[in-house]
Amino acid sequence: MKKTHVVALVCGALALFVPSFLAAQGSVTLSSLAQAPAGNPPNGIPVTITVDAVAGGGASINGVYLLYRTLAEGAQDWWVTNEMAVAEGDTYTGTIPPLAAGEVEYRISCLFDETNVQETDVASYTVSALPTVGSGRYMPFDETWTQVVESNYYYNVDSGAWTGSGIRRSEIGSRVPDGGTSPVYQLLAIEGAYIQSPSLQGGVGSIYFTSQMSNPYHSSRVLVQVSTNSAPESGDWETVKVLIYPRVSYIRYQNAAAVVVNRADVKSVRIILDEPSPYDTSASKLEGTIAFDNIVISYPPADVRIEERLRNPGYPSRDQEVKLRCAVIDTNPNAPTVNHRVTVYYQWLHQPTARPQ
């Protein structure tokens, strides 16, 4: 910015007004702030932020930074700062990792000429509680699965395919469990009938669903199983939950209990009928079916490990200061932590010296 100063020199009765000019101060313009995907993203995906930072008036940009925070329930309320990279020309890019469901706020800050700062207004988006169907972690059964033969079906997604054997699609309203919508898919009253997820990257946190015995007076047992194999064989499964559907008169028994797994090594999930209803004597095995809807498989929660990098000196003398350095490392890259606050705890353990006898 150019400023004009007026100086008055008085010689007798004559006043001379001489303008002087100070050097112009540089500036930075931040524009074209963009977010991809735009709007409110589904759960479990990163968000890319881009911005144009243009220096003017001889200014020199020292760094462009992306600041963000999550306002999700239980989250620490502070800003995370990451330096953005040059994408092309004056365009900078940065990434906000997958965060918990809730509102996320972000802004851009540019440091120039060593001490000056230019920032954008705060922008925001809301992370959905649900992942995309294409991720293989959400199955609302809205679309019709492709039939292979008889009761064997599959449904393609980005990460592979959901598969099922001994299942059947139903649009009968009375067979839709609470929290579900028509249509649903049912496990026929056949031992070994199952619904299986596609291969999952990044592990499994919890498995959510809603389910219901299709008719009263029937009972069944279902196993929720996981595998560390992306293409599991019959012996690769581990049961993490047993779902009991007792025989109840006049009521279609429902079960929607979340199954907590919290393992980063799990790559497949299946829901398999272990004990079919002994009261279904029909040839079609439709009377003792169990309807499932809205299966959601979350990522495991964020967690870290702390590794020592430096302890100097290794064997300190009395009254000598010890410096510690550590690294905080995410255990699951698909659920990165965003707020780190490290505290060092120490205590003095006095070791008495032996007196000479």
* Coil, strand or helix at 10: strand
pLDDT 10s digits, 165-207: 999 999 999 999 999 999 999 999 999 999 999 999 889 999 9
Q: What are the backbone angles phi and psi of residue 133, rounded to the nearest 5°?
A: -65, -40
For residue 314, what are the CA distances in angstroms to 10, 22, 318, 321?
A: 75, 57, 13, 11
Domains and CATH numbers, the chain: 27-127 (2.60.40.10), 133-297 (2.60.120.200)
Instruction: Provide the pairing of β-strand 238-245 with 194-196.
Output: unpaired
What single letter denotes the amino acid at residue 259? V
Determine the Cα–Cα distance for residues 192 and 186; give it in Å rounded to an integer.
13
Using alpha carbons, select from 174, 229, 245 the residue that is nearest to residue 196.
229
Give 178's contacts (C-beta < 8 A, 6+ positions apart): 210, 212, 254, 256
- The answer to whether the beta carbons of residues 266 and 290 sit under 8 Å apart is no
The rounded percent of the chain whose pLDDT value lies above 90 is 66
- Tokens at residue 95, please? 């990434």
Per-residue b/e over 303-342, b at no fewer than 16 CB within 10 Å?
Answer: eeeeeeeeeeeeeeeeeeeeeeeeeeebebebbebbeeee
Report the range of poorest mean pLDDT among 22-31, 61-70, 110-119, 192-201.
22-31
What are 214-264's pLDDT values in tens digits? Answer: 999 999 999 999 999 999 999 999 999 999 999 998 899 999 999 999 998
* Residue 273 CB contacts under 8 Å (≥ 6 apart), including other chains: 166, 187, 188, 189, 190, 191, 192, 193, 194, 220, 221, 222, 290
Cα–Cα distances (Å) from 50 to 56, 111, 125, 288, in that order, read 20, 16, 15, 54
At 95-150, the pLDDT tens digits run 998 888 899 999 999 999 999 999 999 999 999 989 999 999 999 999 999 999 99
pLDDT value of residue 195: 98
Name the pTM for this structure.
Answer: 0.72
Within 8 A by CB and 6+ apart from 346, the residues are none
